[in-house]
Structure 1
Amino acid sequence: MLEATGLMTGSLPTKKMKIEETFHVPASPETVWRFITDPEQVGPCVPGLSEVEIVGPDRYKAKVKVAIGPIKASFNFEVEVTEETPPTQILSVTRGEEGSKASKVTAHNILRLLPSGDGTDVFYGSEISITGRLGKFGLGVMKKKAKSLGEEFAETFCQRIENSKVHEGVSEAFPTPTVQTEGSSKMGKMDWYDMREFMDFCEENGELVRIKEEVDPAWEINGLTRISLQESGPALLFENIKGADYPMVANLLGSDFRFLKTFGLDNYSQFNQHWLDRTEKLIPWELTGDAPCQEEVIEGDDIDLHKICNTVWHQFDGGEFPGTLSISITRDRDSGVLNTGIYRMHTLSKNTLGWGAPEYTHGRQHYMKYEHADEEMPMAVATGYDPTVMIVSSTRTGPGIDEFHIAGALQGKPLQMVASGADGIPVPATSEFVFEGIIKPHHRGIEGGFGEYTGYFGEARENPVFEIKRITHRKNPIYLGAREQWAPSDSSRCVGKPSQAEAFKTLKSLVPGVLDMRCDVTYEAIVQIDKMFPGHPQQVMDAVWGGTYARYKHCIVVDKDVDIWDYDMVHWALSTRVRADRDVTISPRRAGQWLDPAVSLREKGWQTQMGIDATMSNEEYEFWGEKVPRQVDDPETVAKTLEKWGDKLDWRK
């Protein structure tokens, strides 16, 4: 049952609703009680819940996102259990508000568990008061949303209990929200010592799950990492991989929470400015004598890549790919400047890897110089480093920039490096593994195919072959891997976000009025501007394509009144402000991404760029001046109407 009324509280619209619903769970009341009173179990069932904090014996804090109509709201809730009668009844009070206090919610709740046939009937009721911008929605909309959320909770809760029966004792459920106790820290930071410290942070906050049972690297790691990514689940530590001598952690940056906490941030709208502030002055790395990555050594015939990482990440991969989050460190033959990049690497034999660095990357350009001189190129490949190194190694920067200097700037201190056996090339000192070796000139092998970050398979190619001469590693090392796929994934965040920030920094230096920039998919950029003159959006597009290094295929430019972090608003601008014959720019034969699946094999490396001017036209600006209407929205008239008609509208009762 749903009852609702509307009124005005001062100048703020308010809705009052009464909800009473029942659903059946095929489990005993005792089992249901155990689950429903455990935040780690009930939390993932609550739609939109991202975080739970235990602040007292009967008090909790939670963060919840909810979308009603065109509005997306993020609430901070406090829940107090006022009465508890195990295992039959709970009374509680919920109070919450948006971060901007645009809406407030108060609810008095009751939950009853009643034995019924083969299970339990769960009755829940709430008397809810909503004030603010969400209070202006029609009661029909509110009732429909409340019913939908209740049904979603019931379905997920029943499924979670059912899963616990089938998989009891196994890590079968990936908890979406993080549960923390009073006094624990969830802030994250920027100066991680190593990958293990970040893993400890994730595990303490429910963001890492240990898989202790033996897993088959030919398919089970593929399946488990895929499920976790799609459900915004935890990082997975595989402690027992069939045929491998070492454990492996995967999906380490595969959730928004873990990626953002690498920098101590709460949301992506903070990311660009944070990056600009921290990287204003780069900090060079330092050589150190403390080298955990060189505690153990493997040489000669003892080298066997199959025993280190033998994972087949996707169904149609060409073989084992240990290089999905490994960094290739090279030195420019002429300038001596280091480059670090993440390129796919395919195991060809016990001690050789196919090296899939595309021709437009700095690492491959380093190799081309050595090859032109008919010389071997020394290279070190490291894996299992702190998350900052992982992120900067994915960043598309200008030529001649040492990404390790960016890592130092982000951490606020010099990155600690140690000389490797690959012609002394420095590597992060706390890496878990380091492969040292050479790439001979004109030596090629068949590398690939491989399931890529685009969500498509990249074809097999003849690529340079990396010959490993020595492997060093930490004691009890942990390999670092990642399942490449479309978002959400480690690569979509590691490639998209830092490259977005670097492009934003360049763009602001080239064009006035640039306010923000977003890139969730490598091929598309969305730029927010304060439109200042005719042709301003086109100048932004030209700068994105010609002045940055990310090779964006599509560029969408929007006005300052469009929140680029809300895709609904971006689509609204595209739908209402774009006239295709006037506002769409097509630029063929531009430098592109080698892995772009829309390009034929013979045209690889090329792309056609499309720019969309989704700003208000100059004519509309001139007509409306500074009073450009954003939406057909008249809250004053609605308030006056409700004051007179509220009690007479039968459909609202």
Structure 2
Amino acid sequence: MAYKDFRDFLNTLQKENQLLTIDEEVKPEPDLGAAARAINNLGDNTPGLLFNNVYGYNNAQIALNVIGSWSNHALMLGMPKNTPVKEQFFEFAKRYSEAPVPVQREESAPFHECEITEDINLFDILPLFRINQGDGGFYLDKACVISRDVTDPDHFGKQNVGIYRMQVKGKDRLGIQPVPQHDIAIHLKQAEERGENLKVAIALGCEPVITTAASTPLLYDQSEYEMAGALQQEPYKIVKAKLSNLDIPWGAEVVLEGEILAGEREYEGPFGEFTGHYSGGRSMPIIQIKRVYHRKNPIFEHLYLGMPWTECDYMIGINTCVPLYQQLKEAFPEEIVAVNAMYTHGLIAIVSTKSRYGGFAKAVGMRALTTPHGLGYCKMVIVVDEDVDPFNLPQVMWALSTKMHPKHDAVQIPDLSVLPLDPGSNPAGITHKMILDATTPKAPETRGHYSQPLDEPLTTKEWEKKLQDMLSK
């Protein structure tokens, strides 16, 4: 099911009627951001967008909303486009558990067709535009940024592929926001403690499987490339960078090579973030670009993000749920059923679990807060019974309204860490967190009246499948 490159995936979207090609002339601003916002407003199964006629950018093709629906997300996994979200979750979890899959190394890549080593000017190379009108400048917001652990450079798993926002600061300079909870912040700290610049490679227009892996909260020594191989069920192709020992996605459309300058900071922002708020401006590190590669007539990809739901939420939805699910199952292998952390990158998480005894669900919530992702996100954890589908919000609301007692089941923990982008944190990066226990009380907790649950009719499951098959024809 592996896609050869970004173009191969776009071709699949086209064949599945999940790509809308727009040939009429549009303006970079506000048309591109407005169109991406609009398509996200129209439902869960909307197509990607490919613009072929952008004013001011001769012959440039710009793709948006590429995995901005559950249909396109299913196609990214090689599944039928009508696959339900819950089925995608469990298939993703199955493949996640099959990692690592060794990579396939190549000597050269299609992006080596064109190479720029002097007089680099990103304003000439890239079609730049603001996604939201309050952004402080032009941003690269869906690029895979590759860096390595400086103290252990030969450990393949400690090479990080992550997605970080980057503001264009000049013709060959980018600002980058390395959030402290993310791996690149560790690499930069290591380099700066040595007084060294941190080498980075930036890949734009990649297959969705690597952008998905890059936005997954893996463990520090887990390789995104080996996870991408597990997700696509065959080895992922990489090629060595020319200016460093970094590995680059083989199928990228455009690659920038450079380094983060040790100790150098510039004002960056504001930027419309996945929280649905502008993040303001902060002093952030600078990347000096030293070399650019690109395919002939590259296809440029951008990501719209803002008030959920947008492509960002589809891209980081299931792949935020699965690591939490796997890490909780390591602690409670027989109890954890499913995890829904799709909302605002897991600032809220819903965990379905069997409860062994009174107070057990609250302990599950505490464990969720101490996972690697939970430390920086997971501001609220809702715990429900095993027969409540965490992906079915009416069921979750039912559990909250009938099972949770405000006196006994709302647990607040003060002054824990959260990513600074959370607009509710005060000071930035610190917040109270909460566990809401919406499970049926177990002994020795014997309050409430839960002895007569209402069961569904006997053949409901058979009818669910029959009706789903009819609707998909």
TM-score normalised per structure 1 = 0.65
Q: 1:517 maps to which residue? A: 339
Report the secondary structure of 2:57's partner residue. coil
Counting only pairs closer than 5 Å after superposition, residues 471-490 of structure 1 correspond to structure 2 as 471-490=292-311
Q: 1:597 maps to which residue? A: 423
C-alpha distance in 2 between matches for 1:359 and 1:439: 16
Q: 1:393 maps to which residue? A: 214
What amino acid is aligned across from residue 24 of structure 2 in structure 1? E
Q: Please, which of 430, 439, 442 is the counterpart of residue 263 of structure 2?
A: 442
What amino acid is aligned across from residue 55 of structure 2 in structure 1? K
RMSD: 2.1
Q: 2:386 maps to which residue? A: 560
C-alpha distance in 2 between matches for 1:447 and 1:261: 35
Structure 1 residue runs without a partner (length 5+)? 1-188, 636-653
- 1:483-514 CA-to-partner distances (Å, cap 9, x unmatched) read 11233222112223212101100100112411
- 1:255-311 CA-to-partner distances (Å, cap 9, x unmatched) read 111012211341221234323321333112232024112111123214333541311
C-alpha distance in 2 between matches for 1:563 and 1:630: 16
C-alpha distance in 2 between matches for 1:417 and 1:200: 22
Report the secondary structure of 1:300's partner residue. coil
C-alpha distance in 1 between matches for 2:245 and 2:218: 24
C-alpha distance in 2 between matches for 1:374 and 1:542: 39
The answer as to 2:71 corresponding to 1:257 is: yes
Counting only pairs closer than 5 Å after superposition, residues 533-552 of structure 1 correspond to structure 2 as 533-550=357-374, 551-552=377-378
The answer as to 2:441 corresponding to 1:630 is: no
Contact 1:525 1:555 (C-alpha < 8 Å) held by counterparts: yes
- The offset of 1:218, in angstroms, is 2.3
Counting only pairs closer than 5 Å after superposition, residues 27-426 of structure 1 correspond to structure 2 as 189=1, 191-232=2-43, 233-245=46-58, 246-265=60-79, 266-280=83-97, 281-305=99-123, 307-321=125-139, 323-336=140-153, 337-426=158-247
C-alpha distance in 2 between matches for 1:385 and 1:225: 19
Contact 2:316 2:342 (C-alpha < 8 Å) held by counterparts: no
Q: 1:12 maps to which residue? A: none
- 1:535-588 CA-to-partner distances (Å, cap 9, x unmatched) read 210111111011342421110000122122211111011111111110000011
Contact 2:57 2:127 (C-alpha < 8 Å) held by counterparts: yes
What amino acid is aligned across from residue 562 of structure 1 in structure 2? V
- 1:392-451 CA-to-partner distances (Å, cap 9, x unmatched) read 100112212211110011122221111113313110111000001111101111211111
Q: 2:399 maps to which residue? A: 573
Q: Please, which of 614, 631, 638 is the counterpart of residue 438 of structure 2?
A: 614
What amino acid is aligned across from residue 239 of structure 1 in structure 2? N
Report the secondary structure of 2:306's partner residue. coil
Contact 1:244 1:310 (C-alpha < 8 Å) held by counterparts: no
C-alpha distance in 1 between matches for 2:172 and 2:181: 26
What amino acid is aligned across from residue 278 of structure 2 in structure 1? F
- Cα 1:400–1:230 shift into 2, 3 Å: same
Query: Across the two proteins, how many residue pairs are aligned to each other?
Result: 442
- Cα 1:624–1:223 shift into 2, 3 Å: closer
- 1:617-640 CA-to-partner distances (Å, cap 9, x unmatched) read 126986999x843349899xxxxx
- 1:294-343 CA-to-partner distances (Å, cap 9, x unmatched) read 1111232143335413111001000111x211011001101122101101
What amino acid is aligned across from residue 265 of structure 2 in structure 1? R
Contact 2:352 2:388 (C-alpha < 8 Å) held by counterparts: yes
- Cα 1:476–1:574 shift into 2, 3 Å: same
C-alpha distance in 2 between matches for 1:580 and 1:604: 28
Q: Please, which of 456, 463, 466 is the counterpart of residue 287 of structure 2?
A: 466
Contact 1:272 1:504 (C-alpha < 8 Å) held by counterparts: no
- 1:345-402 CA-to-partner distances (Å, cap 9, x unmatched) read 1111111111112122101210111011100111000011111101010011221221
Contact 1:244 1:307 (C-alpha < 8 Å) held by counterparts: no
- The offset of 1:460, in angstroms, is 1.2
C-alpha distance in 2 between matches for 1:564 and 1:271: 14
Contact 2:357 2:443 (C-alpha < 8 Å) held by counterparts: no
Contact 1:433 1:473 (C-alpha < 8 Å) held by counterparts: yes
- 1:215-260 CA-to-partner distances (Å, cap 9, x unmatched) read 2222111111111111133211111223335321011011111012
Report the secondary structure of 1:249's partner residue. strand
Larger radius of gyration: 1
Structure 2 residue runs without a partner (length 5+)? 459-473
- Cα 1:302–1:379 shift into 2, 3 Å: closer
C-alpha distance in 2 between matches for 1:544 and 1:293: 41
- Cα 1:271–1:331 shift into 2, 3 Å: same
Q: 1:96 maps to which residue? A: none
- 1:180-232 CA-to-partner distances (Å, cap 9, x unmatched) read xxxxxxxxx4x121111111111112211122222222211111111111113
Contact 1:225 1:483 (C-alpha < 8 Å) held by counterparts: yes
Identical aligned residues as a percent: 26
C-alpha distance in 2 between matches for 1:271 and 1:486: 24
What amino acid is aligned across from residue 331 of structure 2 in structure 1? L
Q: Name which structure has the greater RCO, CA cutoff 8 Å, separation 6+.
A: 2
TM-score normalised per structure 2 = 0.89
- Cα 1:606–1:199 shift into 2, 3 Å: same
- The offset of 1:476, in angstroms, is 1.8
- Cα 1:455–1:422 shift into 2, 3 Å: farther
Counting only pairs closer than 5 Å after superposition, residues 1-12 of structure 1 correspond to structure 2 as none
- The offset of 1:606, in angstroms, is 1.4
What amino acid is aligned across from residue 516 of structure 1 in structure 2? A
Deviates more, 1:442-451 or 1:282-291: 282-291
Report the secondary structure of 2:316's partner residue. helix
The answer as to 2:253 corresponding to 1:432 is: yes
Q: 2:467 maps to which residue? A: none
Contact 1:621 1:628 (C-alpha < 8 Å) held by counterparts: no
C-alpha distance in 2 between matches for 1:270 and 1:632: 23
C-alpha distance in 1 between matches for 2:429 and 2:51: 37
